[in-house]
Amino acid sequence: MRGPHNIIRLIRTGATLERTGAMAVIMDAYEAGPLLRAVVRGVVWPFQWLGYAGDPAVPPAPRALTALGPAYIKFGQVLSTRPDVVGDELAVQLRVLQDKLPPFSIEEAKAEVQRELGVPVDQVFSSFSEPVAAASLAQVHKAHLADTGEAVAVKILRPGIERAFRRDIDAFYFAAKVIEVLSPSSRRLRPMEVITHFEGVVMGELDLRLESSAAAEFAANTEKDEGFHVPSIRWHLSGRRVMTLDWVEGISAGDNAAIDAAGLDRRVLAARVLQLFLSHALRDGYFHGDMHQGNLKIGANGDIIAYDFGIMGRIDEYTRRVYAEILFGFIRKDYQRVAEVHFEAGYVPSHKDVDEFARALRAVGEPIFGMDASRISMARLLSYLFEVTERFGMETRTELILLQRTMVVVEGVARSMDPHMNIWQAAQPIVTDYVSKSIGPRALLNDLRKAALVLSRFGPQLPRLAEEALIRLNNPPPPPKPQRRRARLAWMALGGAIIGTAWFVQALV
């Protein structure tokens, strides 16, 4: 599938952006110069007729991405949380992609529920509303259980979404391969592996049984977290394409006016969003991987309510410690230690100069501290970080892709509530607490205890394993003799020649 036919798909992407007016919006957001505008327009303008028209009632950027398909919508959702990167106007346009996409009909929704659960909708639910939210992969209906009258949310996958998403991913793979071929320097970023990772994450989102399981695990991990709530799953009314969970009322995390009207402090909420994410990632190694405003609500008591558990991230304990040490080093402005951690973890090639890398990190970190967050250009910061990583030969860490992406999204959500937020000050108590518990004498004793437990499970087998190792050490297998290998190859070649000759003679006869 990943062949040259995808060239048409990529051309159509550019043509759709041009036809819907999204290309001009993007160029304005990034303050593109006249030369770049002329080059881009010269390439895509002749192919406008290939582009999708989209819905004229929708702003240009979401209009284009919605017309292009679910994978493009997912990309737009991430950018919608970063007004400091794409600009306020474009961020507001893209926010439509979070939960205000065109829904499919209630008749189709009921048919999907009946197919999945095996019973008519009216037999299970006493009421079943029109869609209350529609996202890129699924939509949600409010319903009431027929037996108890309790309110629940019913999430249903869009019909045919699996095929549509695979088509988009196919084009992304082709684009990544083209980038690798045309730009060898980009290979250190592993574009093919990044797309593979993205595919795995979202394909998991297309099985709601996995999402139900993730929600249950996440709820168990966070049940004692103050100011945080995860709705309970109704397992008997959930399946591969349908998921039912408790209905919880709340204000959209992106509706600042409603939050203010409810008398809630947005500065407190912003800090809580960031701190909860860091706590889940560092403490549990399991975090919500899609924490944009469309998946978060604010309860009347100020609790943050999480939804949509299709994308969850998991990182092992060693990676958590490395990540925490890097953050802790930045917070303490200990750039030398941050550099050393990168080298110890193998993130930077060992032949590079650690002191030079520390100086480069200082140039990245210093502008952040003591400065109002609204004055920091995250776009410039990310650009400089890219230059630094390229200079020092750092490769993309696929195990950190989702963590890094979610950190960007969460920071964007927090700053949309509090534009003057200092992310490092908000992160400090969580990171400091984790470092104090995971690095030091107490952590070493805990590691030794875990290692002893692992070894104890192999205790009954240790004598046999030791004996087998000694036997292999004292009686190594004889290496194959070169003449015997050559003889075998000769006989194989002769046999192949005889068979080939016989087949050729038979064909002539």
* Secondary structure (3-state) at 127: strand
Give CA separation, 398 vs 321, 348, 401, 408, 503, in Å: 17, 14, 5, 16, 50
**What's the rounded Cα separation, in Å, for the pair 397 and 17?**
31
Q: How far apart, in Å, are the Cα atoms of 489 and each of 106, 271, 497?
A: 68, 70, 12
Smallest Cα–Cα separation from 234: which of 106, 314, 117?
117
- For the chain, how long is the longest CA-to-CA vector? 94
CA 15-20-26 angle, 5° bins: 85
> Any idea which residue has 């829904």 for tokens?
103
Q: Give me the phi and psi of 177, to 5 degrees please.
A: -65, -40
- Secondary structure (3-state) at 19: helix
Each residue of 89-113: b (16+ CB within 10 Å) or e? ebbebbbbbbbebebbeeeebbebb
Q: Helices 70-79 & 161-182, crossing angle to 10 degrees?
A: 70
Active-site annotation, residues? 290
- Token pair of 77 as six digits: 């959702």
